[in-house]
Structure 1
């Protein structure tokens, strides 16, 4: 596991810059709260220190979501942000951030945030519906996007333990999404999307960039280089820092 973490970190470090950008990790919840949130924050703090590409601030203070306060960040990470996490003014500040070119990385439970807001659903790509009991399964890379920057240094993964999310609408129906990862429905029970079960994607959205992964329920994910490497490259891609040559 440690060797995978080192290999994926190296893929980021090779593109190091002298001017790190600022990332906000936001993990407010309303309702169910993932035990893995502290591990997720610690993992991104460690990744920031190892790569020197960005610096991170962790917060659950939604009152700080104003256009002025968000303007210093290049990327906002929505880490397990379940429930009604924003007032309308705070959500409007997030819209302003995205429309000004800001990046968003949304992880796992973020798909269960603000369930009744259509804009937030489009930002994430699809609203979470439910999941079957967690079990090990196989994650497949979308062949057409296997060379995408976020998937660089990655392949698929067998035996991955997670909650295999189902969504209210099939993500493939959202033509704005570039699907990156799919679950193999033959490897787990309870999938509702047939033979094509998207679990990770990215999109250009209203001037900004968004990367979402439905993986990441358990603490172990945030100590795994395969997963953390995708999050790290997702941050760089959302910040438009994937090509520093």
Structure 2
């Protein structure tokens, strides 16, 4: 039986042109049934039927107070949460969300090629990747370094692109547990091209699979 995903793409700030391609990619994942919404009321309803909630390049304040309560309770009780790219630019006014995700977006340099350094090949999101993964993205900087509160899976090699602001220790991809739930975040995924890249799709699928947990959870 397919596991259900609730894919939320509401934006009240910057809106990524890649969102339709990203939604299509998630809908194509075998073993999942992705329901797409931009309606904050969808997060006010019971979330237990979903294996994971995905915030896919959301931006700004995207939830109602009731939706915040529902999402927090869902994750604490064992629901999965996946944040993709601009999910880190979301819900700045809700302290719990910053804890849930692990870090908040600060800035990014120009979209450009660079290198991802994989630290942990023992996770489904990274086990297929080379130790050094060439990629093109925005290379998000974060307000704080999440290392120490998250399991860092990959970091940026700031020597491989211009404008990095975090130094040698620049996490880009991580996971963590919140209550009984699992949280996965990847800062990658700015452009539509990412959602046709086999390595990135396997990366996103692996992270989603981990957060969602086994079928029937």
TM range, normalised to the smaller chain? over 0.9
Q: Would the alpha carbon gap of residues 44 and 157 (structure 1) be closer, same or farther in structure 2, given more than 3 Å must change?
A: farther
Instruction: Give per-residue Cα distances to partners, 1:126-180, cap 9 Å, x unaligned.
Output: 01011111111001101xx2122322222245441100101111122xx230000
User: In the aligned structure 1, how far is the partner of 2:134 from the partner of 2:126?
Assistant: 19
Q: Does 1:217 align with 2:190?
A: yes
C-alpha contact 1:209 1:238 (8 A) present in aligned 2: yes
Number of equivalences: 216
**TM-score, normalised by the number of residues in structure 1:** 0.84
Unaligned 5+ segments in structure 1 are: 1-18
User: In the aligned structure 2, how far is the partner of 1:27 from the partner of 1:217?
Assistant: 13
Q: Does 1:152 align with 2:127?
A: yes
How far apart are 1:29 and its partner, in Å?
0.5
SS in 1 for 2:160: coil
Q: Does 1:187 align with 2:160?
A: yes
Unaligned 5+ segments in structure 2 are: none
More helix by percentage? 1
SS in 2 for 1:233: helix
Equivalent in 210, 216, 226 of residue 199 of structure 2: 226
Q: Does 1:168 align with 2:148?
A: no
**TM-score, normalised by the number of residues in structure 2:** 0.95
User: In the aligned structure 2, how far is the partner of 1:157 from the partner of 1:83?
Assistant: 32
User: In the aligned structure 1, how far is the partner of 2:125 from the partner of 2:196?
Assistant: 18
Equivalent in 59, 62, 71 of residue 37 of structure 2: 59
Rg larger in 1 or in 2?
Answer: 1
